[in-house]
């Protein structure tokens, strides 16, 4: 299979330029587009995180264009960390950029850990066509939302997650109506060590079934 074509770009964000990677499926026009958000920037999270990369590959395998970017203050992106407030605005700027590129295609949002919480919060405002939240840090960064995303969405988490407690995720999940689909992977830790193929396949299956 030909490799996707990555393009390094800068997106105009509310705090300045956001460095990003825009990738297209090889050999075909995209049938959708997705923004993928990275984990906590103050703990080493970037758009090149392996879980973020895996999610992007799932979308590309679904013939979607995929956009990854660094939140404000991360590597070459302008600005400084903003406690998850400005980062939602960064996500909305990336969604807006991608929608402008593909105005007639469905748009999805996905994220991992901190990025999953940002994806949920951004999806409430942006109303995408689909959402995937992997190990979402909701108790710290997306608690108390007055409404929930109104699109097909999937939460994926390992039951051995050492950073995002599975019991917290289930307790949050139980407050939602109708809420997302929840996929718990047994024996999987926060960073999906040795289990990235399972993650990729789960995301790919959900995108295929809902787009």
Q: Which residues of 102-119 are buried (b: 16+ CB within 10 A; e: fewer)?
A: beebbbbbbbbbbbbbbb
pLDDT tens per residue, range 154-197: 999 999 999 999 999 999 999 888 889 999 999 999 999 999 99
The CATH number assigned to the domain holding 161 equals 3.40.50.1820
Domain that holds residue 108: 5-209
> Nearest Cα to 15, choosing from 88, 118, 66, 65?
88
Number of independent structural domains in the chain: 1
Between the alpha carbon of residue 97 and those of residues 24, 48, 150, 176, the distances in Å are 15, 20, 21, 30
Q: What is the pTM of this model?
A: 0.96
pLDDT tens per residue, range 29-45: 999 999 999 999 999 99
How much of the chain is helix, strand and coil, in % rounded to 5?
35, 25, 40
């Amino acid at each position: 299979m030909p490799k996707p074509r990555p393009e390094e770009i800068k997106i105009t964000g509310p705090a300045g330029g956001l460095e990003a990677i825009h990738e297209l499926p090889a050999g075909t026009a995209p049938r959708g587009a997705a923004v993928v958000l990275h984990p906590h920037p103050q703990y080493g999270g970037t758009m090149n995180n392996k879980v973020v990369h895996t999610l992007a590959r799932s979308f590309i395998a679904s013939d979607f264009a995929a956009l990854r970017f660094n939140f404000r203050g991360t590597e070459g992106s302008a600005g400084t960390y903003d406690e998850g407030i400005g980062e939602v605005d960064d996500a909305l700027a990336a969604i807006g950029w991608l929608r402008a590129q593909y105005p007639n295609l469905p748009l999805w949002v996905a994220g991992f850990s901190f990025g999953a919480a940002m994806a949920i919060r951004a999806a409430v405002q942006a109303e995408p066509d689909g959402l995937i939240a992997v190990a979402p840090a909701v108790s710290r960064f997306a608690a108390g939302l007055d409404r929930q995303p109104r699109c097909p969405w999937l939460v994926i988490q390992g039951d051995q997650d050492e950073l995002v407690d599975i019991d917290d995720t289930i307790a949050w999940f139980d407050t939602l109506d109708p809420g997302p689909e929840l996929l718990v992977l047994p024996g999987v830790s926060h960073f999906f060590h040795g289990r990235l193929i399972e993650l990729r396949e789960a995301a790919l299956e959900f995108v295929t079934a809902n787009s």
